[in-house]
Amino acid sequence: MSRDRLASASMVRSCLDSERVCMLTTRERASGARVITDKPEIARVWKMTHRVWWRGEPTDPNVCVLRIEPQTAELWDGPASTALTVFELAKAWLTGAKPALGENRKATVNM
């Protein structure tokens, strides 16, 4: 990929909390991402659960940290009850009304 295309490219990340039925999506410029190979910084953010993906320790040469600065973030917060979700979808299907499935908020971050 050329530098011009990389500078204009964007990345999207999504995180889902299935228990609370909420999702966070962020969008970042690919050109703003930094690869950090500093072992003390990697050790600072390292969690034991990371061993699932990296068999070594934070000192493993294949482990790095990707620092990303988001431009925008979007939060979707829905009902925690599956029964309520099914009810709202069924009601919308029967009546043609928009289902009440929670809130959506967007924020733009100037960095």
Q: Which long-range contacts (CB under 8 A, 24 or more apart) does 14-20 make?
A: 19/80, 20/77, 20/80
Nearest to 44 by CA among 22, 27, 15, 67: 67
pLDDT of residue 44: 93
Residue 1 has pLDDT above 50, yes or no: no
**Residue count of the chain:** 111
Q: Name the more confident of 47 and 88.
A: 47
Query: 54-63, 64-73, 89-98 — which one is most confidently predicted on average?
Result: 89-98
pLDDT digits (tens, 9 = 90+) for 10-65: 777 777 776 666 777 878 776 777 888 999 999 999 988 888 877 778 888 888 88
Between these two residues, 80 and 93, which has the higher pLDDT value? 93
Q: Give the pLDDT confidence score for residue 6 in this predicted structure.
A: 45
Instruction: Give the start-to-end residue ranges of the domains of the chain.
Output: 1-31+70-106, 34-67
pLDDT of residue 8: 56
